[in-house]
Amino acid sequence: MTVLESLRNRAGLIVSGAASFIVVIGGMRLSAGEPLVEPQTDVGIVIGVAMVALFFIINDTRGGAR
């Protein structure tokens, strides 16, 4: 399985997980009276989503090689 195939197969899971995480973080920030966008923290969220996608890609490409 190639990287693009892996991303296509897992796109729904990655997007829904990222969206639900953003909704939870947004709700927590809103209820605490904090700004909804905090650039330093939000970069960490993007890095986390990218790491999850990389994990899926590595697992899928290793599994396809067997």
Tokens of 28: 């927590």
pLDDT at 65 over 60: no
pLDDT of residue 12: 92
Tokens of 33: 């009276």
Single pTM value for the model: 0.76
Q: How confident is the model at residue 1 (pLDDT cuts 50, 70, 90)?
A: confident
AA identity, residue 31:
S
pLDDT in tens, 35-60: 999 998 889 989 999 999 999 999 98
pLDDT in tens, 23-37: 999 999 999 999 999
In whole angstroms, what is the distance from residue 37 CA to residue 8 CA?
Answer: 29
* Residue 51 three-state SS: helix
